Chain A
Amino acid sequence: AQSVAQPEDQVNVAEGNPLTVKCTYSVSGNPYLFWYVQYPNRGLQFLLKYITGDNLVKGSYGFEAEFNKSQTSFHLKKPSALVSDSALYFCAVRDPSGSARQLTFGSGTQLTVLP
């Protein structure tokens, strides 16, 4: 079975400070990992993914995520937060060696960047 957890419902950070949104996963094999962002009244937008290779993945809008196999984590990061980064962030996992045919999403983390 595949699962993903986002331990923080809410993250607040000051504009210009670095931000981290946490994600941990559980799969039986090697995971495919994704981050999505959802702005108010919009659908989810793909930010970045980890499939294989370099553990540090760079994505849209200056975001990056680090895959850590030993800690089964895939935290989303940005060196300098913008007020416009305020949104709901979802982590998702897929185990390509498993029987599930779809992504499993986390419950989401609301990021608020304070001016």
Chain B
Amino acid sequence: ETGVTQTPRHLVMGMTNKKSLKCEQHLGHNAMYWYKQSAKKPLELMFVYSLEERVENNSVPSRFSPECPNSSHLFLHLHTLQPEDSALYLCASSQDLDRGTRGNQPQHFGDGTRLSIL
């Protein structure tokens, strides 16, 4: 559909668990993003990768650890999460990093992982 696939779609975990979210894009894009979407709040950009290099970390707590092994895959490793971390986590990709005139390309989003922390 959108070319960006996220797994799992739903995840319930305890505060002491360790889990990972996976994102895969089949669009040949060079940039990938993690967003957090909470109810009644604007979309929060968490991390940005360009050509497997992390270029942005928007003051995200260390209990969230991203990994980008190649330009098609992006992971978000989770450990010791808090109840306030319950949210929809969205992955997106774009042709290039949103810089300069290349920023005119839209981002393509996956359907997200609904995370619930018990």
Which residues of A does B touch, CB under 8 Å? 32, 34, 36, 41-46, 49, 51, 90, 94, 96, 101-103, 105-108
Whether the pair B106, A49 counts as a contact (CB closer than 8 A) is yes
| Chain A: CB-nearest residue to B10 | A41
C-alpha spacing A51/B105, complex, angstroms: 9
The 8 Å CB contact of A102, one of B40, B98, B112, is: B98
Whether the pair B42, A43 counts as a contact (CB closer than 8 A) is no
| Chain A: CB-nearest residue to B90 | A43
A-B pairs with lowest CB-CB distance, top 9 = A43-B109, A46-B106, A105-B43, A44-B109, A107-B42, A51-B104, A94-B103, A43-B111, A102-B98
Q: Which residues of A contact B40 (CB under 8 A)?
A: 107
Whether the pair A96, B101 counts as a contact (CB closer than 8 A) is yes
| Chain A: CB-nearest residue to B110 | A43
List which B44-101 residues lie within 8 A (CB) of chain A: 45, 48, 55-56, 90, 92, 97-101
The 8 Å CB contact of A101, one of B42, B56, B101, B112, is: B56
Q: Which residues of A contact B41 (CB under 8 A)?
A: 107
Whether the pair A94, B98 counts as a contact (CB closer than 8 A) is yes
> Can you give 12 A-B contacts (C-beta < 8 A)?
A41-B111, A41-B114, A42-B111, A43-B92, A44-B107, A46-B107, A49-B106, A94-B98, A96-B100, A105-B42, A106-B42, A108-B42
C-alpha spacing A105/B38, complex, angstroms: 13
Contacts A32-B103, A90-B43, A96-B100 given; does A101 touch B55 at CB 8 Å: yes
C-alpha spacing A41/B104, complex, angstroms: 27
